[in-house]
Amino acid sequence: MKNNAVPSLEGLVRADLDDICADLSEEFARMGGKRLLITGGAGFLGHYLVQAPLHWNEARRPDQAIRVTVFDNYVGGMPNWLKNLEGNKNLRLVTHDMCEPLPRDMPDFDYVIHAACIASPTYYRRRPIQTMDSNVNGLRNLLDHAVAQKDRGKPMRGLLYLSTSEIYGDPPPEEIPTREDYRGNVSCTGPRACYDESKRFGETLCISFAQEYGLQVTIARPFNNYGPGLKITDGRVIPDFARDIFHDRDIVMYSDGSPKRTFCYSADAISGYYKALINGRSGESYNIGIDRPEISVTELAERMIGTAKELFGYKGKILHKVSKDENYLVDNPNRRCPLIDKAREHLAYEPKVSIEEGIRRSIIWYHHAREPVEA
């Protein structure tokens, strides 16, 4: 495919980081000089969760810097963007699997974001036990550590648990857009249950520890995040379509294309997570996503085709097939759209990146950052 003066990877990422830091100027100022732990920091959301505070540090005195520690098992290897940060004096990388007990020399942290989990249906259905262990045992270990810190007179200022919009299951039409107080329509035995139900129990752990021990714990429920950091091999819909585009073949769709979603660009989502960490009320959950437009999977594919055609002269079309995986569409929600009024009111959260601009940035990122993969 041809390249019509596509913007650079460095320029794209720096622009996103500038936007995140501008949106989080007050929140990062409160975190200045403090210690932050991000579990699963080598994953998709870690891409900007880790880089944003380090970017903010660039214009600060050393004593004002946010000191970031990453725990990850690096099962898929260390991504290039993280390797490039290894020399940063405000970053500490630790190889640790959150399914295991915390390290014996675990230090105290002011803030913790628990993002360690397999989030792609393609992969969590292959490793259901590991998925549940990270969501339940890994979280429990962090909560126990938070209690121990408080007992030592060094209470955490905030612990954020990244849950999921999948805890709602497949809501009926009258519950869409979906509010945080909707209790869900979720199977406890289906092919997605290892992820959905362990996230639900993780939320119960958070609420219980917040109530019994007085911890500052908040919950974020991501809604269909996408953007830089989401590997082209991830198995979710946007990277799957991007994979077809960059193999210069038709986009393959394993459904009729009618399910609808709202898609939230990662820079907006990361702002929401940090706002939930700093501004969220203890024991509360917050939908973090975008509330419009709600588009079908077919419309998503058409928008990606149009953008790829404009940028690279892509000539593919949509091709419908039946998946060989008999569980591919089992328990897949027909619609997913959040009500974000609570996040707007409590957190001052407001997503800004349109679906058109988000798709454009994502395709540019895949053009530059994708790793060679088999067809």
Q: Which residues are catalytic?
A: 195
What does the radius of gyration of the chain's CA atoms come to, in whole angstroms?
Answer: 20
Q: Integer distance in angstroms from the first to the last C-alpha of the chain?
A: 16
Strands (E), the chain: 35-39, 67-72, 91-95, 111-114, 158-162, 217-222, 225-226, 251-253, 260-261, 264-265, 285-288, 295-296, 318-320, 335-336
Cα–Cα separations (whole angstroms), residue 40 to 70, 73, 117, 186? 7, 8, 7, 25
Q: How far apart are CA 66 and CA 371, in angstroms?
A: 31
Number of alpha carbons in the 13 Å side-chain half-sphere of residue 92: 12
**38, β-bridge pairs:** 70, 113
Q: How far apart are CA 255 and CA 240, in angstroms?
A: 13
- Tokens 């913790």 found at: 112
Is there a cis peptide before residue 293, judged by omega within 30 degrees of 0? yes
